[in-house]
Structure 1
Amino acid sequence: MTNKGLGLAYVFAITNALIIGFSFLFTKNALAAADPLDTLAFRFIASFLVMSIPVLTGHIKLNYRGKPLGSLLVLALLYPTSFFTLQTFGLLHATSAEGGILIALTPVITMVLASLFLREKTNLMQKLSILLSVFGVLFIFIMQGGSIDPTHIGGIVLLLLSGFAISGYNVQSRSLSKQFTPSELSYVMMGFGFVLFLLVSVGKHIATGTMGQFFTPLANGQFVIAVLYLGIMSSLVTSMIANYVLSKIEAAKMSVFSNLSTVVSLAAGAIFLGEEVSLYHVIGAALIIIGVVGANRFGRKQTSASAKNSVSFSK
């Protein structure tokens, strides 16, 4: 890979973290007008319909002929299907702080899965850097009073499984990047989310006799803006970016960038919501950034030959 291609991958990885970091603000606005399932439905309606336009006009070329579609379906089942389903229902039985703590473990889970399925190797300094980044996130949540409540065991298990789902996506996307383009991966992922969450949301309204309320949130301007951001930027664009980055750099390196979203969300909360930033926020953010830089810097000399030995989850 050329230095230009590698540099672009890192720029996209940082951009991905920035978009996700701001998504927390828009999620709060969306959930103020609609429940989680309706929000997910409209989110993926927006993402799938927007991507379908360039596909139908021929500006984005898709070719699935002769390619392992079963493996691609496994990818879509992992993300967005399993990840958002497990996260949504996990947060019903656990706190958002517990969710943040458990999702922070994603880079560690990804590192382990990438080692097992992709034969990706990380050196000692990379491992320490990833752990440092994870500790930075945990430090922030713990200092904010966050902790794991054993009575929330059901929600905790679901949130932990959501971490495995997004880690599995990182590994599976890295494996499939040799056979599919980022657009081909993203279109199936968005389509899967569109069908699933629309059916679940509409089914819920039919069962409760509230179908008339399904479109009510669309009268709220803030909800529409939030859903467009979540659907187009935080779902479609991030999936395209992530799939591209995972075709260029190792899954463990990509995954650790997710912790930068915590830094971005803190900054966004301070700037747009007037939330207080304490010294422990600064310390935690510094640990996260140092960890992300270290995980990628110390592994830069390693080759990507291990990808040749990658094993798809569906095999």
Structure 2
Amino acid sequence: MAHQHTRTIVLGSLAALGCETLYGLSYIFTKQATNSASPIALLGWRFLIAFIVMTGLIIAGVIHVNLAGKKLQPLLLVAIFDPVLYFIGETFGISHTTASESGVFLACIPVAALLASALILHKYPSRQQIIGILITLIGVIITVIAAGASASLSIIGYLFLFLAVVTYALYSVYVEKAEAYTGIEITYIMLAAGAIVFVVMALGESLIHGNLQSLLSLPMTNKRFTIAVLYQGISSSVLALFLSNYAIAKIGVNKTASFIGVSTVVSIVAGILLLGEAFSSTQLIGAVVIICGVYTANNTFHLK
């Protein structure tokens, strides 16, 4: 029994680590794609490709989805929180604020997830988890401020970022409550909802600006955009969402939330190695603090 419990924790932790690594690497592809297309166009193509890929895997029998006799309401609630409301909040929040501001706001997600878990699931984090997540939060704030502290004072932007923080926390909680569904079933409904909402938004945006043909031909005419949406659609959507849902099912909201800062470290390293971005000693300190926070939240020792 103890061996099985340890195996569950290890697999759940590896899934959370893998998910945040994929999200951290997506920064590179997002940066390249948004140079030639709007964020909404990227989201539309991203979730459409993800939905098509996962549907193909289901048809081929590689993965299995069986929703017969199961209520869809809990899954739709999860999908509304993430990806729909979360990505609307993140996308428009980032576009109306500075990189440092959005980074600090989104770094609050683990804290919001702890509060949501306590209030809705009545699962209270240990003192060790709270300390670890707060250390991670401090590390992320140090890192994003070191990258360039500036303020937009955009109330609209702050409200959208607040929406992203709250809805991601609620997604984490309601995924844990969706015990009747497999991680693959939850992921598939999330991708379907994302595809419907963001494709409609992308089409609406292109019609307003009179560039529908440009939107439809983007993957055929822009190699960087194509590579970006393939990575975003397959790795950052299908695989990362499955890993996230799996991690929450295995180790719960509180432990999964403690890994969120890892994506910040991965994005910094990827920016240095692949884009040749500058790296300061303060960012290094922030990255070390993040890793210490994740270790503290997930180590087996107990604080008294």
Q: Fold conserved (TM > 0.5)?
A: yes
Please give the root-mean-square deviation of Cα atoms over the aligned residues, in Å.
Answer: 1.6
Contact 1:14 1:257 in 2 (8 A): yes
Structure 2 match to 1:38:
41
Which consecutive residues of structure 1, in runs of 5 or more, have no partner in the other structure? 302-315
Following the alignment from structure 1 to structure 2, what is the Cα–Cα distance between the partners of residues 300 and 79?
33
Q: Which amino acid aligns with 2:193?
A: F
Contact 1:113 1:167 in 2 (8 A): yes
1:273-288 paired onto structure 2 within 5 Å: 273-288=275-290
Q: Which amino acid aligns with 1:83?
A: Y
Deviations 1:76-98 (CA, angstroms, capped at 9, x unpaired): 00111001111112223211221
Structure 2 match to 1:196:
197
Following the alignment from structure 1 to structure 2, what is the Cα–Cα distance between the partners of residues 265 and 194?
25
Structure 1 match to 2:102:
99
Distance change (3 Å), C-alpha of 1:114 and 1:282: same
Indicate the SS of the match to 2:154: helix
Following the alignment from structure 1 to structure 2, what is the Cα–Cα distance between the partners of residues 147 and 251?
32
Structure 1 match to 2:132:
129
Q: Check if 1:83 corresponds to 2:86.
A: yes
Structure 2 match to 1:138:
141
1:180-259 paired onto structure 2 within 5 Å: 180-218=181-219, 219-259=221-261
Deviations 1:37-82 (CA, angstroms, capped at 9, x unpaired): 1111110111000000121123322122332311110100011100
Compute the TM-score of the two structures, normalised by the length of structure 2.
0.94
Deviations 1:248-281 (CA, angstroms, capped at 9, x unpaired): 0120210121110000011111111111222111
Indicate the SS of the match to 1:141: helix
Following the alignment from structure 2 to structure 1, what is the Cα–Cα distance between the partners of residues 208 and 223?
27
Following the alignment from structure 1 to structure 2, what is the Cα–Cα distance between the partners of residues 184 and 300?
36
Determine which of 26, 31, 37 is the counterpart of 1:28: 31
Determine which of 261, 264, 269 is the counterpart of 1:262: 264
Compute the TM-score of the two structures, normalised by the length of structure 1.
0.91
Contact 2:81 2:171 in 1 (8 A): yes
Distance change (3 Å), C-alpha of 1:59 and 1:216: closer
Q: Check if 1:8 corresponds to 2:11.
A: yes
Distance change (3 Å), C-alpha of 1:299 and 1:42: farther
Distance change (3 Å), C-alpha of 1:299 and 1:52: farther
Following the alignment from structure 1 to structure 2, what is the Cα–Cα distance between the partners of residues 234 and 277?
25
Contact 1:44 1:194 in 2 (8 A): yes
Which consecutive residues of structure 2, in runs of 5 or more, have no partner in the other structure? none
Length, aligned pairs only: 299
Following the alignment from structure 2 to structure 1, what is the Cα–Cα distance between the partners of residues 128 and 102?
27
Distance change (3 Å), C-alpha of 1:287 and 1:69: same
Distance change (3 Å), C-alpha of 1:217 and 1:299: farther
Following the alignment from structure 1 to structure 2, what is the Cα–Cα distance between the partners of residues 299 and 163?
29
Following the alignment from structure 1 to structure 2, what is the Cα–Cα distance between the partners of residues 168 and 227?
26
Deviates more, 1:271-280 or 1:129-138: 271-280
Q: Which amino acid aligns with 1:187?
A: Y
Contact 1:43 1:227 in 2 (8 A): yes
Identity among equivalent pairs (%): 33
Deviations 1:262-315 (CA, angstroms, capped at 9, x unpaired): 0001111111111122211111111111111111225889xxxxxxxxxxxxxx
Task: Tell me how far 1:143 sits from its aligned partner.
Answer: 2.7
Following the alignment from structure 1 to structure 2, what is the Cα–Cα distance between the partners of residues 145 and 87?
19
Following the alignment from structure 1 to structure 2, what is the Cα–Cα distance between the partners of residues 21 and 63?
32
Following the alignment from structure 1 to structure 2, what is the Cα–Cα distance between the partners of residues 269 and 47?
25
Contact 2:132 2:258 in 1 (8 A): no
Following the alignment from structure 1 to structure 2, what is the Cα–Cα distance between the partners of residues 76 and 299?
36
Task: Tell me how far 1:148 sits from its aligned partner.
Answer: 4.7
Contact 2:25 2:266 in 1 (8 A): yes
Contact 1:270 1:276 in 2 (8 A): yes
Q: Which amino acid aligns with 1:186?
A: T
